[in-house]
Every structure is written in C-alpha cells, then in structure tokens.
C-alpha cells in the first residue's frame, strides 16, 4: 500500500480504483474518508491525504473535480491570517 503518490507515477492498485469512484465532485468527501485510513494506519501527515486526493482527482482528467479538491485542500489545511473567518457551509468550495 502506498502512503502518497504523484499523479503519473504510482502503483495502479488503489489509485485507479479510487479514480473510478470519482463520478462528480461530491464524491471527494467519500474518497477523503477512504484516504484518511492511511493516516490512521501509517501515521501519515494530513497534508499527504490531501496530496493523495488531488493525485486521484488528476487521474480522472476532469478539471472541475481537480479544482474542487485543490480548493478543499486550501480550505481545510491552508494557512490563514490572524482572525480570518470563514463560513462552514457545504457550498463553499
């Protein structure tokens, strides 16, 4: 099992299977849960989970899904300025 991979160079097992599950951008949350198992099992950093999510999204070759996952990464683990506020609602990204 891989811990993280790039979009062009990783074992076909796992990545292709997850990429096939990406039918629309709302599937990202389900795939993220699946990828989080890696963090729990191998103590991988959260940033690796989002790198994996983006790499899986890139395998779909669908720009809308890739952009959605990049926005998720920025929203959930991106840096913020002091006192920056953001709404917690599903249609944010």
SS3 label, residue 34: helix
At 79, phi and psi to the nearest 5? -75, 155
Q: Tens of pLDDT along 52-74?
A: 899 999 998 999 999 999 988 98
Q: Tens of pLDDT along 7-43?
A: 444 444 444 577 887 888 888 888 888 888 877 888 7
Q: Where are the domains of the chain?
A: 12-76
**pLDDT of the residue at 8:** 46
Q: Does this model's pTM top 0.85?
A: no
Q: What angle do CA 8, 49, 2 make, to 5 degrees?
A: 55
């Amino acid at each position: 099992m891989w811990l993280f991979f790039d979009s062009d160079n990783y074992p076909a097992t796992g990545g292709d299977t997850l990429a096939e599950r990406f039918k629309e951008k709302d599937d990202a949350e389900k795939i993220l849960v699946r990828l989080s198992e890696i963090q729990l099992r191998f103590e991988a950093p959260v940033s690796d989970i989002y790198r994996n999510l983006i790499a899986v999204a890139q395998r779909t070759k669908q720009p809308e899904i890739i952009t959605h996952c990049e926005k998720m990464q920025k929203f959930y683990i991106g840096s913020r300025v002091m006192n920056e506020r953001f709404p917690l609602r599903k249609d944010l990204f």
